[in-house]
Amino acid sequence: MRKLTLTTLILLFLLGNLLGKNTGEAPRQNQTAEFGRATGIYPAQDEQTHQIGNLYLTITNYGFFGSQRGDDTPTYCITADEEICGRETGSCRPSAEYPGCTGLEYLFMGALWVGAVVGGDTLVSVGEDGWNPDINELFPSYNDEDTLIYRSVLEGDPDAVSEEDFVGSFSDTITSSITPPDHRPIGIKIYQESYAWSYSYANNFVFIDYAFENIRDDGRTIKDLYIGLYIDGDVGHVDVHDYAQDDITGFIENYVSEQNETTAVYLAWLADNDGDPEDGVYTEKSATGAMAVKLLRGPGGTDISSLKFAYNWWISNTDEAYDWGPMMWGNDLGFDGTPEGDINKYKVMSNCEFDYNQTDIGDREGWIDPPASEDDLRDGYDTRFLLSFGPIEVRPNLPQDSLPHITIAFMVGENFHQDPNNVEGPLWEPNFGFDNLAAAAYWVQQIFENDYKGPEPPPAPEFKIVLGQSKATILWKGTGVEDVCDSITGIHDFEGYRIYIAEENIDQYYVPLVQYDKVNYMKVNYIYEIFDSVSSTTGDSLFHYDTLYSDTLLTADDQYDAYLITATGDTESVTLTPKPFEVNNGMPPDTVYEGEDWYYYVIDNLLPGDDKWVVVTAFDYGQPSKELASLECNKTKNSKWFVPSGAPATDDKVRVVPNPYRVDHDYKAYWEHSFTSEWTEYSRKIRFYNLPKKCTIRIFTLDGDLVKELEHDESQSGEMVGAEDWDLISRNDQSIVSGIYIFSVENEETGKIQTGKFVIIK
């Protein structure tokens, strides 16, 4: 059935390509799928997705970042051994999704462009052309092991820089059937490293560092090298139709705060034109933020004043009236839109031009007049920009530690759009909110100048779950947590623990259960605003979980357990559950478990068989004098999955829910619901619970034919505690039919076998 459906979809897709109308856009595809994966005869292309923070950014080892999400034929896909937002294997990776798992995208693709003059020839090699989908000229080697390398300080890797590093390399000298036939290589190899963190002040940006090596075999120096970062944003929610067609871009040099303080930020930014409100109101599908790129280091180090910069933007379209970008009168390049070919690309990279902001079309002197379509272009279109810098000289035979580098930061800032009605021409710009982008730029600069180090939260405590009758006892240790000194601030700043619970292992979905604080008179740093919104302090969204926000920047006073309730102007009556969150002064009670001392907390009134995620975090009290809020260790990386047990008399009896499973019942809303992906036939599930820690589940027909075998091992990362789900798909990849099924559960430790039955009604 699945193969038939897939074949039908492919035929329909091909037919649609033959008969479909021209929308004016370039084909949204990449040659990766055609070339296949690394097999020894193709370059070892690889993709990985940063998801340690709130910015889910996909990185590759072929001069390209992002995933072209929104394409009808995704080629940058989630693999079987990955877990990204609960999405299916084969679905498109996040491109630059922020916050992660929300479907809000801030990038279609980003690519490295490298251009130089070698022997009198102007040559450009690109990680992605951006218009012609058949042009990609940067690839890794043919070695199957030359894929992206993962490193992490969380795992004690001495070479790691951040909590999530991806390291790879590529060059423009790979020659095979996948290289454009007219490609002429510069002879350059590029070493790429990307870094990401989960910390609250750093979870919305990713660093990318590039080092350039001259690998020409003629010994020539590569001169007049210009480097460009090509960005095609496509900002919007993936469910919003044509969200790529209304982007705007600009460059901000200085940020002026509400206190009238000016800070240099130097950000090339891109955003949706209005944040996609619905009926005049922002919703969970409104892309109200903006993405930006910042250069931090050039070949000469942090002093980038010797470089020449250019910021050029244009709109790509098959209709000449819309394929256009600004150009100064004295800088006529012979074209006014998409730069095609090596010479035109190099002209744009090296023109030293800083284009005016897109919302200012038709409002600038000294620039070539815009086309008749200027009104359509001003209020947003399929916009791209190129941030470029040079010239750089790359000599041959340089040692690895002497290679020229550039370092950039890719970031997303929230609340760029704050007024759903701010939609009229140049009047938009004064109402754009750069506060969060400026804050990200500040921390990007601080972390970079401190050798990629910043203040850290306390380490995550070790914890266990002990299941009881409709309850779970959470046990954790303070060893190696409460006595840790922050390596940057030099302060022993541990303050306490929090316990959260969630339906899915997604940061925004965790609900706080309890907090324990040290009695050390630092409690005044924790004054909370409690409201029903994931990201906004200005209005309630009743479909969101309650979220706890801490603010360490308030003036200290003598209060304990103080709460500040933000008035949000509700017109609906809202009933609040009593005691939704506990705050306790002092450490929790402890107990002896397996001969050791543990703190403990009991979660009661749990529904048997209803799985949950739980996590114990540690947090510090921040550093208010440095405007540093309280830091808390990562939730999603330290969480555990468990399934509550049933009544004591049947605690050791393996059970199945729902039983019977009825196809005519709608389980989508609660049992088979996912916050992050659409329902499919593979979303069906029954659950075996009260399972031993390690066991084998075998499912048979009444005739004794083996239908499916499931392995349950709670020692493996990601396994549920006490339960295992099955999607009603047989070992032959077929949906099972109606009937009575027999199951057996073999305890791998004791050899004991339990049996039972369940019914499927279709």
Radius of gyration from C-alpha coordinates of the chain: 28
Greater model confidence, 691 or 537: 691
Q: Which of 683, 692, 624 is nearest to 653 (CA)?
A: 692
Contact status, residue 496 vs residue 515, Cβ threshold 8 Å: yes
- pLDDT at position 119, please? 84
- pLDDT at position 428, please? 61
- pLDDT at position 688, please? 92
The enclosing domain of 682 has a CATH number of: 2.60.40.1930
Q: In what order do the strands lie in the sheet with 262-272?
A: 149-151, 164-171, 188-196, 205-214, 405-413, 290-297, 262-272, 247-256
Each residue of 375-402: pLDDT tens digit? 889 889 999 999 999 999 999 999 999 9
- The reply to whether 590 and 716 lie within a common domain is no
Q: Which of 177, 101, 167, 116 is nearest to 142 (CA)?
A: 177
Choose one of 613, 642, 671: the last residue of a domain. 642
Within a domain: 457: no
Q: Around Cβ 482, how many Cβ atoms within 10 Å?
A: 17
Is pLDDT above 60 for 415?
yes
Within a domain: 455: no
Choose one of 424, 449, 474: the last residue of a domain. 449
- The reply to whether 617 and 705 lie within a common domain is no
Residue 689 is part of which domain span? 652-761
Contact status, residue 723 vs residue 688, Cβ threshold 8 Å: yes
- The reply to whether 505 and 605 lie within a common domain is yes
- The reply to whether 616 and 726 lie within a common domain is no
Is pLDDT above 90 for 302?
no
DSSP 8-class letter at 71? B
Tell me how many domains the chain contains.
Answer: 3
Within a domain: 728: yes
Is pLDDT above 60 for 123?
yes
Q: Around Cβ 696, how many Cβ atoms within 10 Å?
A: 16
- The 3-state DSSP class for residue 289 equals coil
Q: Around Cβ 642, how many Cβ atoms within 10 Å?
A: 22
Within a domain: 458: no
Of all residues in the chain, what percent are helix, strand and coil, respectively (each to 5)? 10, 35, 55
Average pLDDT over residues 336-340: 90
Beta bridge partners of 697: 710, 745
Q: Around Cβ 199, how many Cβ atoms within 10 Å?
A: 20
Is pLDDT above 70 for 670?
no
Each residue of 342-382: pLDDT tens digit? 999 999 999 999 999 999 998 778 898 888 888 889 889 99
- The reply to whether 61 and 123 lie within a common domain is yes
- pLDDT at position 410, please? 99
- The reply to whether 333 and 405 lie within a common domain is yes
Q: Around Cβ 762, how many Cβ atoms within 10 Å?
A: 12
- The reply to whether 539 and 422 lie within a common domain is no
- The reply to whether 274 and 344 lie within a common domain is yes
Q: How far apart are CA 596 and CA 574, in angstroms?
A: 45
- pLDDT at position 6, please? 36
Q: In what order do the strands lie in the sheet with 527-531?
A: 547-551, 527-531, 563-564
- Cβ-in-10-Å burial (0-12, 13-18, 19+) of 96 comes to buried
Each residue of 221-256: pLDDT tens digit? 999 999 999 999 999 999 998 888 899 999 999 999
**Mean pLDDT lowest among 563-577, 605-619, 639-653:** 563-577
Contact status, residue 110 vs residue 410, Cβ threshold 8 Å: yes
- pLDDT at position 331, please? 80
Within a domain: 438: yes
**Mean pLDDT lowest among 42-51, 508-517, 565-574, 686-695:** 565-574
- The reply to whether 442 and 520 lie within a common domain is no
Confidence of residue 24 (pLDDT cuts 50, 70, 90): very low
Average pLDDT over residues 726-751: 92
- pLDDT at position 441, please? 96
Q: Which of 80, 76, 33, 72 is nearest to 57 (CA)?
A: 76
Confidence of residue 562 (pLDDT cuts 50, 70, 90): very low
Greater model confidence, 293 or 671: 293
Within a domain: 454: no
- pLDDT at position 330, please? 80
For the chain, the residue count is: 762
- The reply to whether 231 and 298 lie within a common domain is yes
The model's pTM:
0.72
Q: Which residues contact 732 (CB under 8 A, 6 or more apart)?
A: none
Is pLDDT above 60 for 403?
yes
Choose one of 642, 670, 687: the last residue of a domain. 642
- pLDDT at position 469, please? 79
- The reply to whether 483 and 379 lie within a common domain is no
- pLDDT at position 611, please? 80
Each residue of 90-121: pLDDT tens digit? 889 999 999 999 999 999 999 999 999 888 89
Average pLDDT over residues 477-490: 82
Average pLDDT over residues 493-519: 88
- pLDDT at position 665, please? 74
Is pLDDT above 50 for 568?
no
Q: How far apart are CA 745 and CA 674, in angstroms?
A: 28
Residue position matching structure tokens 């200005």 = 538
Distances (CA, A) of 476 to 324, 326, 462, 637, 717: 60, 60, 6, 16, 18
Each residue of 143-200: pLDDT tens digit? 988 999 999 998 889 999 999 999 999 999 987 666 788 899 999 999 999 999 999 8
Each residue of 59-81: pLDDT tens digit? 999 999 999 997 666 778 888 77
Greater model confidence, 757 or 592: 757
**Mean pLDDT lowest among 37-41, 499-503, 668-672:** 37-41
**Mean pLDDT lowest among 16-20, 304-308, 332-336:** 16-20
- pLDDT at position 405, please? 93
Confidence of residue 589 (pLDDT cuts 50, 70, 90): low
- pLDDT at position 73, please? 65
Is pLDDT above 60 for 564?
no
Is pLDDT above 80 for 505?
yes
- The reply to whether 632 and 661 lie within a common domain is no
